[in-house]
Amino acid sequence: MSNVVVLDNGAGLIKAGIGGERDPAVVVPNCLGRPLSSKKWLIADQLHSPAEDLTSAAVRRPFDRGYLINPDLQREIWSHLFTTVLRINPSLSSLLLVEPLFNLPSVQRAVDELVFEEFGFKSLFVADSPSLVHLYEASRRPYGLVSKTQTSLVVDCGFSFTHAAPVFQNFTMNYAVKRLDLGGKALTNYLKELVSYRSVNVMDETFIMDEVKEKLCFVSLDVARDLKIARRAGRDNCLRCTYVLPDGVTHTKGFLKDPDEAKRYLTLEDGDPPSHFKTKDDIDYPEVTDKREDRRKIDLTKNEFCLTNERFLVPEMIFRPADLGMNQAGLAECIVRSVNSCHLHLHPVLYESIILTGGSTLFPRFAERLEMELRPLVPDNYQVKITTQEDPILGVWRGGSLLASSPDFETMCVTKADYEELGSVRCRRRFFH
């Protein structure tokens, strides 16, 4: 068995496992949480326990805005993972660690101290996510364009940032990487604000609103049309769906009131006018008999809220951040700027090998909308081809697992002896390119 621990240390989720495996042994939140009813902080995998009620739970994260700000908290989480979950002996293991792009030198020093001085790993290799995604996709399709040209454009929509990063011959071209300061955390916070303003205060419900976002949000292919539909009342509004909050007595987890209701928007075809979707003739809905005035009143005894246009306005942030007052380009323009920073000969290949990874790319219709936005910005003689990874959350870890199982891996690492002799800064130069 391999003695390389592969750790994709994301700001939102930690993916950890042994190199050479297909999937990580554990995918857990990179945070501590404390339920209202408890004085004890729950670590990582303990937050996934079905018995825990995470309503209004306090959350502590070692990362903020994409960078490690609390190494002590990170050490606590890693220690729990290595001893309780993975059950490894660091002094006999190597570590492949995935770090964010443009990591600060002070953060790098703190991480090196954790790895070598606190845990005592025998060696360390540091990688960035775009190069590992490229490696994995090239190995999956050995005769595909990514493998033949050794070139791709990785769009990583993570927890704190969204990056458009060109990769050439397994190296990320840092000078051409473009960043959008929007990620899964910002989307969840925006959804919290919308729901809190319109129906019920959920500003403290981080875990619940994350689940609402993942289950109910989707990317609109025609925002103007969907906004018209969202204004409709009753059964004419195929976007409306209801989410029931936990009450702490009969159920400690939130749930969808009607799972089929959440999928009604799929009956809308691209380009259809607002009236062209399944109605009462196709789907059997109960008659609404109460008066319109009564329906407008929110019944506060019912622990639930309805979502309509919030479902597509939240992911819309990624494509139109300016609509929220952010002085940033949308994702499509971000990609074009990234490609234009590269050599002219690489442009057609980069546009034809765009790879989507990261949790936010899991929104339904994300790739179709990105292609719609990108096509008018790209020269007509270039093809645009967008590929979503089979599992965008695990794609980076699988690339790391593949690299860790290569025969040359140990020669690429920095050993503990190197670190003790040369120090952090000189050791890190091995990973520069």
Residue that the structure tokens 């539909």 belong to: 229
* Element containing residue 97 per DSSP (H, E): strand 94-99
pLDDT at position 256 = 87
Among the residue ranges 24-28, 165-169, 256-260, 338-342, the one predicted with the least confidence is 256-260
Average pLDDT over the chain reads: 88
The answer for residues whose C-beta is within 8 angstroms of residue 269's C-beta and 6 or more apart is 276
- Under the banding of pLDDT at 50, 70 and 90, the label for residue 108 is very high
In sequence order, the β-bridge partners of residue 406 are none
What's the burial of 72, exposed, middle or buried (CB within 10 Å: 0-12/13-18/19+)?
exposed
| Res. 284: pLDDT tops 50 | no
| Residue-wise burial string across 307-343, b where 16 or more C-beta atoms lie within 10 A, e elsewhere | bbbbbbbbbbbbbbbeeeeeebbbbbbbbbebbeebe
Q: What is the mean pLDDT of residues 378-390?
A: 94
Question: Do the Cβ atoms of 131 and 170 come closer than 8 Å?
Answer: yes
The answer to whether the CB of 375 falls within 8 A of the CB of 228 is: no
DSSP character string of 265-329: GGGSPTT--TT-S--TTTS--PPP-S-HHHHHS--TTS-EEEESTHHHHHHHHHH-GGGGT----
**What is the pLDDT at residue 269?**
61
Q: pLDDT band at residue 385, thresholds of 50, 70 and 90?
A: very high
**At residue 302, does pLDDT exceed 70?**
no
**59 has a pLDDT exceeding 60:** yes
Give 171-222 pLDDT, tens digit per residue: 999 999 999 999 999 999 999 999 999 888 999 999 999 999 999 999 999 9
Q: Which of 104-108, 163-167, 173-177, 231-235 has the lowest mean pLDDT?
A: 231-235
What does the alpha-carbon distance between residue 232 and residue 280 come to, in Å, rounded to a whole number? Answer: 15
